[in-house]
Amino acid sequence: MARKVDWALHDDLIRTHLPHQTVESFTSQFLPHISSKAVGARARKLGIKPAKYHPTEEHKQKIAKTESKITPELAEQIKALRDDFTLKQIAQKLGVSCKTVVYTNRRFGIHLSPNGIARAHAGSVAAHLGKIPWNKGGNLTEDTKLKIGAALKGDKNGQFGRGMTEEEKVRWKEAYFTNGVHKMRQWLASETGKQALFKALRSTTTKEFRERVSKKVCWLYQTGKLKIHSVGISTLLTTQKGGQFRTRSSWETRYAQHLDSDKDVIQFQYEPLFIEYEHDSIKKHYIPDFLVTYTDHVELVEVKPIFQVPYSKNQAKFRAAETFCITKGIKFVVITEENEPCLTQNSDAQIF
């Protein structure tokens, strides 16, 4: 990980000399152990404008010489070679520098072909295989995280307000399908992929960590700090007996409407509490759907399709809920489409 620079030791030096020199010359003369980019960033933060670089005659001739090599003919030659050769090999074959090839590509909008993308990907994998990432083990302080966030926020972000051109969209699509990312997603969606992913996650986290995450997620859902994401239809519902809340599925919406219109129901709460249960030797936390207060008793209710009731995970939840209800002197009920017809019928509650 890069060493942190103590800028307080160098600020006076930057204020004194940088206004009369370019960033590159100042850095090479006074701070050779720091990059020019870092010094330039510090100068901008201090409000110091370095001297503008004026190329010498020798440098101007060098620029003109490079510009003379960037021609449409060279661009066509690069296009013909890009499928079978690397950047360095193309430069050697054409008798120019790698920098000239890069500048020509930029000038004429030459991009890697599918073969070039695959070759570059393979080279990148080979270069990093078995090597430890440079930032592994480095922990950022909260202050540093806030500074990074502020530096990349809003219009300071290089991608702010920038949309992709049609050409870029086509290029990304080609790269996406060439590298087989869609195949990986298809595999992860399959049963084999799900089991492999689950096994990998189980092997990289501890039992205690998963228990803490489960409890934290339940608390975030209850306090409304975590948004609802589900396969069902999420609805913001306003009721007289249960207040306003957002359901996770159309069946929960219809059952809430049913409770609101039931004369025997005094009041009800949506997702009122969480109950600890154990599944696959791991402690987890389960949130029942409704706590309903009737005129003569109280029920803890779970709304589930009948085909999901036999699942081992759901059975573990239901056993824990029944044990909890016995200690509280209330009743636990699982509502399905078989014992409550309103779940599969349309309803007209006030929905926003």
Query: Can you give the pTM of this predicted structure?
Result: 0.39
Query: Residue 266 corresponds to which tokens in the numbers above?
Result: 């005094």
**In contact, 287 and 273? CB cutoff 8 Å:** yes
Torsions phi, psi for 109 (to 5 deg): 65, 40
Quick one: which H or E segment has residue 142? Answer: helix 142-151
Q: How far out from the chain centre does Cα 194 lie?
A: 19
**Side chain identity, residue 20:** H
Return the C-alpha torsion angle 203, 207, 212, 215, nearest 10: 100
What is the per-residue pLDDT for 285? 87
- Tens digit of each residue's pLDDT, the chain (352 residues): 445 778 888 888 888 888 888 888 888 888 888 888 889 889 988 888 888 877 888 888 888 888 888 999 999 999 888 888 888 889 899 999 888 998 898 888 888 777 777 777 777 777 776 677 766 777 788 888 888 888 888 877 777 777 777 887 877 777 666 656 666 667 767 777 777 766 766 666 676 776 677 677 666 666 666 655 444 567 788 899 999 888 888 888 889 999 999 999 999 999 888 899 998 888 888 999 999 999 999 999 999 988 888 888 899 999 999 999 999 899 999 998 888 888 876 544 333 3
Q: Is the dihedral of CA 332, 336, 340, 346 positive or negative?
A: positive
- How many CB atoms neighbour CB 16 within 10 A? 11
What is the per-residue pLDDT for 73? 92
